[in-house]
Chain A
Amino acid sequence: DAGVIQSPRHEVTEMGQEVTLRCKPISGHNSLFWYRQTMMRGLELLIYFNNNVPIDDSGMPEDRFSAKMPNASFSTLKIQPSEPRDSAVYFCASSLDRVYEQYFGPGTRLTVT
């Protein structure tokens, strides 16, 4: 299995631009999580999908952030407009309900200048 796939691995953009991060979960997994990791705040859960439905988006920092999961094999996290304080590493993770641990992708390092 290829594991959780994220793209791009690195993204550098200017303030105000739209950024789209992509994730392909492990085949067969029915839960998907988006996290943000920074030195100051550690690992924060942004949003959780179960069977493609957003269950908890209370961690999404602002309306500038949105996430979708149009099917079981693809999810996007969009930031529009981006700001320098959005600079972080964004991780996607997937899991299966009866298996409790999460499998993380390699992350996307976002830098907003």
Chain B
Amino acid sequence: AQSVTQLDSQVPVFEEAPVELRCNYSSSVSVYLFWYVQYPNQGLQLLLKYLSGSTLVKGINGFEAEFNKSQTSFHLRKPSVHISDTAEYFCAVRDTGGFKTIFGAGTRLFVKA
């Protein structure tokens, strides 16, 4: 069975500073990896996904993530955050042969002026 651990429940950061949200997963099979963002009172929306190929994945809103198979990690990064990036971010994993997507507990990003 897969599992996802988001290592930080909350990350405060100043506007225009870089940020990294950490995600580790465990699985005995090949996986697809995702980052979703949830703004207040909204559903989750996809930021980016890793299916195969290049381990550096670029997503919307200037976010990117790097798949590290040896460390079973998929950390999310942004070089310069905006106030509007304040939201909850979920890392998720799905095995390549299945349908069930396992979500992490979420990391709440606070961007301060």
Mark A residues whose CB is within 8 Å of B. Answer: 4, 31, 42-43, 45, 48, 50, 55-56, 91, 93, 100-107
* B interface SS class: strand
When the two chains form their complex, are residues B46 and A101 in contact, meaning their CB atoms are under 8 A apart? yes
When the two chains form their complex, are residues B34 and A50 in contact, meaning their CB atoms are under 8 A apart? no
Mark B residues whose CB is within 8 Å of A. Answer: 32, 34, 36, 41-46, 49, 51, 90, 94, 99-101, 103-106
Complex Cα gap A31–B49 (Å): 18
List the B side residues contacting A50 at CB < 8 Å: 99
Partner of A45, one of B49, B100, B104: B100
Complex Cα gap A42–B51 (Å): 24
Complex Cα gap A105–B106 (Å): 18
When the two chains form their complex, are residues A48 and B43 in contact, meaning their CB atoms are under 8 A apart? no
Knowing A91-B44, A100-B49, A106-B43, say if A42 contacts B34 (CB, 8 Å): no
When the two chains form their complex, are residues A105 and B49 in contact, meaning their CB atoms are under 8 A apart? no
When the two chains form their complex, are residues B103 and A56 in contact, meaning their CB atoms are under 8 A apart? no
Complex Cα gap A50–B106 (Å): 27
User: Knowing that A42-B105, A48-B100, A107-B43 are A-B contacts, what are 10 other residue pairs whose CB atoms are under 8 Å apart, sorted by A's residue number?
Assistant: A42-B106, A45-B101, A91-B43, A93-B43, A100-B34, A100-B49, A100-B51, A102-B101, A103-B45, A104-B44
List the B side residues contacting A100 at CB < 8 Å: 32, 34, 49, 51, 94
Complex Cα gap A101–B104 (Å): 15
Complex Cα gap A103–B49 (Å): 13
List the A side residues contacting B32 at CB < 8 Å: 100
Q: How far is the CB of B5 from chain A (nearest CB, A)?
A: 12
